[in-house]
Amino acid sequence: MKRVALGAFAALALSAVGLFWWQGKAEVQRNAPPPSTEPPLPASSDLPTDAPANMRGPAPPEATELTREQQRFFRYDRNRDLRITRNEMLSTRSDAFRKLDKDGNNLLSFEEWAHATADRFDKADRNGDGILDQAEFATTAPKRHNKKSQCKC
């Protein structure tokens, strides 16, 4: 009895799916543009056939490879004026916010986080003008660890 009911249900489901597919196909065909009755256009010879070397125009810009430090600098320099303001430095420090929770209780206040970041900014800002140039920003780079020196084979 269960097999008969299951077979009937499967047949009804397949019929419903087929019906919806058939109606959807008819709707697409109804909204399609009518076939063109115009003869196809002859091949145009208006296109340039000269070699690209003989064409004139501006040269495409050359892509320059940025150093790792330049890439890091431009992640912070949001307006691309080659200077990092305090607001630009603070806006990208959300990942460091999680690292500042020393006791692991997830109760680090924003003021504590901003104070630590502002201290880091002040240490890097050697001339005290409130703006980091590229040379000053380079001093804030994280220290890279050499994995080969840690191996004790």
Give the whole-angstrom CA distance, residue 93 versus residue 139: 16
pLDDT of residue 35: 67
Give the whole-angstrom CA distance, residue 95 versus residue 84: 18
In the chain, helix, strand, coil percent, each to 5?
A: 50, 5, 45
Q: Which residues on neighbouring strands pair with residue 131, listed in sequence order? A: 85
Domain boundaries, the chain: 68-140
| pLDDT averages per 10-residue partition of the chain, 153 residues | 90 86 75 67 62 72 82 86 85 66 66 77 89 89 68 61
- Which of 138, 104, 132, 108 shows the shortest CA–CA distance to 118? 132
Query: What pTM, to 2 d.p., does this model score?
Result: 0.33
The superfamily (CATH) of domain 68-140 is EF-hand (1.10.238.10)
pLDDT of residue 22: 79
